[in-house]
Structure 1
Amino acid sequence: MIAHLTFSPLLPWPVIATLAVLTLLPCLLALATRRRGGLLRLAGFAVLAITLAGPRWTENTTQKLPDVALVLVDQSASMDLGTRHEMADRALAALQASAGQTDATRLIVADIPPVTSGGTQILPALHQALANIQPDQLAGIIAITDGEISDAAGLPRDTPFSALLTASGPETDRELRLDNAPSFGLVGQTVSLRLTVFDHGADDAGTIVPVTVTEDGQPVATAAAVVGQPLSVGLPIHHAGPVVIAASTPPLAGAVSAINDQAAFTLTGIHKRLNVLLVSGSPNQGERAWRLLLKSDPAVQLVHFTILRLPGEPIDADPRDVALVPFPVRELFETDIGRFDLIILDQFNASDLLPAEYLANIAAYVQNGGALLTEVGPEFAGPESLAGSPLGPVLPAIPTAPGTVTQNFSPTITPLGARHPVTASFAGQTLKPWERMEAATPAPGSRVLMTGADNLPLLILGNAGKGRTGILLSDQLWLWTRGGAHAGPALPLLRRVVHWFLHEPALEAEALTATITHDRLTIDRRTLDPSYPGDATVTFPDGRTKTLPLTQTAPGRFTSTLPVQASTGVWKVSESGRTAYAVASPENPEEYQDLAATASAVRGIARNIVWLGRNPTPALGPLLSPRHAVQITGSSSLPLLPPLPTLLVALLLITAAWWRENGASS
């Protein structure tokens, strides 16, 4: 029971205060001048003021409330290391057992959940839990954590805070941090990778440690890094498409983990501009279509020449008035041929348009890794066909009877074309008709992706030496660019053909890729082999392996998926001699920067710091400050001065003072 004096004023407090001041001043003046009745007047007004204040004696019956201890348990990713969760569970069980021995303390447990950025953040969980706790009951806040708290500076200072750290003492950890990881680079150039090695919890600033950089698992650079100082490493871009870059350093002796001793990212190589040479054997209806299609591709830089007359053809005008731009035969096909990524010959024949040695140069260019695409018309079946020139050995087809076929036909994607990335997206479509094509026999090893009239080959792709070659056995592609009844996928088809020649990874017929998104590894195998599928072997970042069967999802395409959970690092996928790599990046990179358990973040804030490796079952009592909070269950109140009798007494005192003052004056 709690008893105390309360007031229930009969008038508002400002009114009572005003009356008290107005009456006190004359009384004090009377006392100062020693006038008779001054004390009686003061006593009367004092009784009147106290009566108006309404003093009461109040007695409350109360019930003691338990103290509340808030326990926050760290569930962030860094707690998955070693036995940290086991330490946390053991400590929580000890606190719960200690609280269960008495009704004086109630334990509230809340998790510190993992977040997507910013490291371990305790304040959101703390504020949410405090919203349901009376402040006068909160006896203490206890955090069971590894100490890697990014927002510890915002913890309240008016409530006892204790940190139970899941380690035996301060730990050490080596981190390789990518300061600047380029996401793309131009093929043939070098990009700069900036990284820094940190040794957390170790006093070894200035120590030199080796760093190894790999590209798709193959070492490409080594360097010496000074601990705590940035290091730049140059990375050459060898080819277009994605490549996994990984940097690693030897582990620090005694470090708590080697997870962050390596860092990886995906770098995509891109071509700045693809140099394409288009040579038209004569003006034709498809010439404009080729130009429009190639110029519409921002990745292509086009050089186009049209041969308007034969070199020995007589003319009746001054050559200076006819050949405004001389055809630079020697520059194009001898000195500068190597700077082109692709040569396209449009309706071209061997009738004195180019000397035989230049056609041989083109053939050698292809054999050494160049690319050649030819679009042919009736000239292909004639006596001056390119098939009979020095260029013939690198062409993917040779003309055959009946030669030129003149009839309407709709191009059709072959079963092989339905599996090939260049034409797979057009399989099953009804394509608009063309009007003419050339009969030809594919060269050994060539691939017929489209057929035309009488099921004759129409689009053939193949290889010659180190290079690539292709042929379109019709000069009617331009019909698809006219719109209306002849509208067709001229631009997407040509773009895919051109980029296949330029080795775009997404258009490779035989390929193995691996990607990681939303904590799931996806394996994609493309092949033209109709007897596929097979199995893929996955190598985890920690060296473990797992075999996954691949399932067909489309013609020539087989996939499989695997959860990657919290494993970070480089994943390797192998299948039939092919290898692909994928990077699993942590959802919250800051969480993995420093994995060493430490008290530095809470030092100066926490009243108690307990290392659970030394004291695995801490007692609850020493971590709290008792609050002695109570809840009022009942109340009784009695007036100390009954208003009416007390007012009469005050009136009598004031009257007596007046009488005494007047009696004295008479």
Structure 2
Amino acid sequence: MTGAVIFDPLLPWWLIAALGGMTLCAVALALWRGLSGWALRALGAAVILLALAGPVYQREDRAPLSDIVLVLDDTSASQKLGDRAAMTEEAAAALTERLGARANTEVRRVTVPDGPDNSGTQLMTALSEAIAEEPQGRIAGVFLLSDGRLHDIERAPDLPAPMHLLHTGREDDWDRRLIVEGAPAFAILGEEITLTLRIEDSGAVPAGMDSAPLDISVDGEAPQRFDVPVGRSIDLPLALPHGGRNVLQFTVPEAEGELTERNNSALVQINGVRDRLRVLLVSGEPHNGERTWRNLLKSDSSVDLVHFTILRPPDKQDGVPVRELSLIAFPTRELFLEKIDDFDLIIFDRYKRRGILPSLYLDNVRSYVEGGGAVLIAAGPDFASADSLYRSPLEAIVPARPTARVIDRGYRPTISELGHRHPVTAGLEEMHDGEWGRWLRQVEVDEATGDVVMTGAGDAPLLILDRVGEGRVSLLASDHAWLWNRGYEGGGPQLEMLRRLAHWMMKEPELEEEALWAEATGQEMRIIRRTLGESVPPVTVTTPVGDTVELDLSEVSPGRFEALYDGPVIGLYRLENGEHSAVIGLGPAAPVEFEQTIATGDLLADAIKATGGGVRALADGLPAIRTVREGRPAAGRTWLGVTPREAYRTLSVTQTALLPAWLVLLLVAGLVVGGWLREGRRT
């Protein structure tokens, strides 16, 4: 039970103050004139002013409330290093028991796990949420049991009580980590790139740790080891071995006594691209489709095009000077003998033998393909003639034999059953609204040895793809693809088809017909297997810790099989499916929890200092708990303090008027009459 005098004014305070001022003026005037009853009249006016202020005696019946102490127990990944987890659990249990034994005290214990999506330790977020659930007037203290490596310090709340950190570090803790300071996302094949790495030691580092071994592995192959200095950035030059995704893994072997090896490795994924794709286009004669090929190749910024058109063969004599037909002479020897290996693709567009390219040069083209080059033949009527390229040393690599028949009637190109699975033609039907326009000419071929991905008139082979030795050859048995580009009868996906065809010929990884790869989203990977077959065996996934998992692949579209897999840990995963294999890295090089592992109070120092709290190491034992007054330091050498809040709950309130109306009337009447009588005697 408590009591206090409060005021409940009948008039605004400013009006009461004005009346008080007028009363003082009247009293001063009475004194100046020497009136004998001024004192009694002044007392009457004071009673009226006091009555207007409404003095009330208020009594409250209160029930005291207990103080609340928050104990936050950090169970994030970095708290599982060494004996930190056991130390934290033991200290949290002992601290909770010790605080709970204090009179009028309740303990709220909050467990703080790893944050979602590799966001680290969200200690201040958990503290803010815990405080929001409790009346701040009852919070007497906050104890954090953690290594102090939190990742949301900017969310530290304003606290009404001391906050203390009991960290789990030891004086002899030390750790080593590998940092990738700079790595490009793309690199040009054949050119050297530079990665910047640093090996960093922190904590109580033992003597003699000036250098460390570094293992470097590409796509999961056997690693190479180098000895590198510690604490200094090093530039590592390297060249990518192949196009597409290259997965580089850098690993520093675990040193004796370090806290963890989880931050001793780094994965870098770099996409290998060609600098410039060099294409040689040889057109046998000017025709409507020639500009289509030229526009397609010139529109691709990654293609260097060399284009020659045979305007007049050597056997034609029409009197026109050669210098008026071409800017430069056709450098046949330079292109087909000396620099043929510099080209990624050679296209023969309606070309036939006219004595310009001797058989020796064409035989060199055959050798070029077998050694890894690519040749595309866009056939016109010339391919069915006696001067056909087929009747040359190229016969050994051309994937079909012409029958000498040219079909001159309209037909609609269609994708074959195999073509629906092949990446060059898969999905082309969905890329064009409506029915494809017709082509009007096709060279009939038979004895196709490659993959027939498109058919034409009478289901005859129209587009044939083949591999010869290390190289690739394709045959388009028509010179009327340009009709699609002109929109004839609605047109068709001509540019996309020819683009894919050219890039398949140049061995772009995304157009391989037999391929295995994976796409990562966080810790989930989508495993993709592309094949020309109708089924594939299960894929075997090998995790970073050596465990293996077999997954069945489901066909999502013709020739494309997929499966989803959630990686249990961060690191390098190996995929195997028959003769095909791939690697993929999931997650960052090291989780954010392991970027810094040495326990510290520096990150929380400002927030703790603002509340008067302290930082202590659990390795030194659990400090004593003391009671301190609000505003006083709450930490000593061997103790930490809590501030009692003396909070209460009001059960009832009783108010009694100190100047009831009848009393005011009697007092004022008595004082006024007394003043009048006093003045009357004097007169």
Using the size of structure 1 for normalisation, the TM-score is: 0.86
Work out which of the residue numbers 277, 292, 295 in structure 1 matches 2:295: 292
Relative to structure 1, the CA distance from residue 101 to residue 378 in structure 2 (aligned partners, 3 Å threshold; closer, same or farther) is same
Relative to structure 1, the CA distance from residue 657 to residue 454 in structure 2 (aligned partners, 3 Å threshold; closer, same or farther) is closer
Relative to structure 1, the CA distance from residue 646 to residue 587 in structure 2 (aligned partners, 3 Å threshold; closer, same or farther) is farther
- The residue aligned with 2:346 is 343
* Residue identity matched to 1:250: P
**Is 1:328 equivalent to 2:331 in the alignment?**
yes
Work out which of the residue numbers 581, 584, 592 in structure 1 matches 2:583: 581
8 Å CA contact 2:267–2:589 kept in 1: the answer is no
Relative to structure 1, the CA distance from residue 439 to residue 308 in structure 2 (aligned partners, 3 Å threshold; closer, same or farther) is same
Q: Point out which structure has higher relative CO (alpha carbons under 8 A, 6+ apart).
A: 1
Residues 148-187 of structure 1 deviation map (CA, whole Å, 9 limit, x = unaligned): 1134374535422133445667843322222223111222
8 Å CA contact 1:412–1:450 kept in 2: the answer is yes
Instruction: Name the CA distance, whole Å, in 1 between partners of 2:355 and 2:404.
Output: 25
Residues 628-666 of structure 1 deviation map (CA, whole Å, 9 limit, x = unaligned): 2011111223334445445644665576567768867x7
- The residue aligned with 1:5 is 5
- The residue aligned with 2:635 is none
**For residues 273-284 of structure 1, what are the structure 2 equivalents within 5 Å?**
273-284=276-287
SS in 1 for 2:393: coil
* Residue identity matched to 2:55: P
Instruction: Name the CA distance, whole Å, in 1 between partners of 2:83 and 2:423.
Output: 49
- The residue aligned with 1:572 is 574
- The residue aligned with 1:58 is 58
Deviation at 1:310, TM superposition (A): 0.9
* Residue identity matched to 2:573: W
8 Å CA contact 2:57–2:655 kept in 1: the answer is yes
Relative to structure 1, the CA distance from residue 378 to residue 18 in structure 2 (aligned partners, 3 Å threshold; closer, same or farther) is closer
Relative to structure 1, the CA distance from residue 122 to residue 662 in structure 2 (aligned partners, 3 Å threshold; closer, same or farther) is farther
Relative to structure 1, the CA distance from residue 91 to residue 663 in structure 2 (aligned partners, 3 Å threshold; closer, same or farther) is same
Relative to structure 1, the CA distance from residue 612 to residue 563 in structure 2 (aligned partners, 3 Å threshold; closer, same or farther) is farther
Work out which of the residue numbers 176, 180, 183 in structure 2 matches 1:181: 183
SS in 2 for 1:361: helix
Work out which of the residue numbers 370, 377, 382 in structure 2 matches 1:379: 382
Work out which of the residue numbers 498, 517, 524 in structure 2 matches 1:494: 498
8 Å CA contact 2:178–2:264 kept in 1: the answer is yes
Relative to structure 1, the CA distance from residue 65 to residue 586 in structure 2 (aligned partners, 3 Å threshold; closer, same or farther) is farther
Task: Say which is worse superposed, 273-282 or 24-33, in terms of deviation.
Answer: 24-33
Relative to structure 1, the CA distance from residue 80 to residue 299 in structure 2 (aligned partners, 3 Å threshold; closer, same or farther) is farther
* Residue identity matched to 1:376: A
Instruction: Name the CA distance, whole Å, in 2 between partners of 1:630 and 1:502.
Output: 81
Identity in percent = 37
Relative to structure 1, the CA distance from residue 326 to residue 82 in structure 2 (aligned partners, 3 Å threshold; closer, same or farther) is same
SS in 2 for 1:387: coil
**For residues 438-517 of structure 1, what are the structure 2 equivalents within 5 Å?**
438-442=443-447, 446-485=450-489, 487-517=491-521
Deviation at 1:69, TM superposition (A): 2.6
* Residue identity matched to 1:188: G
**For residues 548-559 of structure 1, what are the structure 2 equivalents within 5 Å?**
548-559=551-562
Deviation at 1:116, TM superposition (A): 4.5
- The residue aligned with 2:153 is 152
**Is 1:631 equivalent to 2:649 in the alignment?**
yes
Task: Please list every run of 5 or more consecutive structure 1 residues that lacks an aligned counterpart in the other structure.
Answer: none
| Superposition RMSD in Å | 3.9
- The residue aligned with 2:632 is none
Deviation at 1:287, TM superposition (A): 1.6
Instruction: Name the CA distance, whole Å, in 2 between partners of 1:470 and 1:203.
Output: 63
SS in 2 for 1:419: coil
Task: Say which is worse superposed, 90-99 or 468-477, in terms of deviation.
Answer: 90-99
- The residue aligned with 1:367 is 370
Relative to structure 1, the CA distance from residue 25 to residue 589 in structure 2 (aligned partners, 3 Å threshold; closer, same or farther) is farther
Task: Say which is worse superposed, 125-134 or 184-193, in terms of deviation.
Answer: 125-134
Relative to structure 1, the CA distance from residue 588 to residue 263 in structure 2 (aligned partners, 3 Å threshold; closer, same or farther) is closer
8 Å CA contact 2:136–2:160 kept in 1: the answer is no
Deviation at 1:378, TM superposition (A): 3.0
8 Å CA contact 1:212–1:219 kept in 2: the answer is no
Deviation at 1:354, TM superposition (A): 1.2
Task: Say which is worse superposed, 238-247 or 207-216, in terms of deviation.
Answer: 207-216
Task: Say which is worse superposed, 305-314 or 568-577, in terms of deviation.
Answer: 568-577
Instruction: Name the CA distance, whole Å, in 2 between partners of 1:662 and 1:236.
Output: 120
Instruction: Name the CA distance, whole Å, in 1 between partners of 2:447 and 2:513.
Output: 18
Deviation at 1:614, TM superposition (A): 7.3
Deviation at 1:373, TM superposition (A): 0.8
SS in 1 for 2:420: helix
Relative to structure 1, the CA distance from residue 142 to residue 586 in structure 2 (aligned partners, 3 Å threshold; closer, same or farther) is farther
Work out which of the residue numbers 416, 421, 429 in structure 2 matches 1:419: 421
* Residue identity matched to 1:461: L
Task: Please list every run of 5 or more consecutive structure 2 residues that lacks an aligned counterpart in the other structure.
Answer: 628-639
Relative to structure 1, the CA distance from residue 638 to residue 370 in structure 2 (aligned partners, 3 Å threshold; closer, same or farther) is same
- The residue aligned with 1:393 is 396
SS in 1 for 2:419: helix
Using the size of structure 2 for normalisation, the TM-score is: 0.84
Instruction: Name the CA distance, whole Å, in 2 between partners of 1:121 and 1:236.
Output: 41
8 Å CA contact 1:533–1:552 kept in 2: the answer is no
Residues 460-506 of structure 1 deviation map (CA, whole Å, 9 limit, x = unaligned): 22223322222222223233333242622222211111111111111
Task: Say which is worse superposed, 610-619 or 435-444, in terms of deviation.
Answer: 610-619
Instruction: Name the CA distance, whole Å, in 2 between partners of 1:48 and 1:195.
Output: 86
8 Å CA contact 1:95–1:618 kept in 2: the answer is no
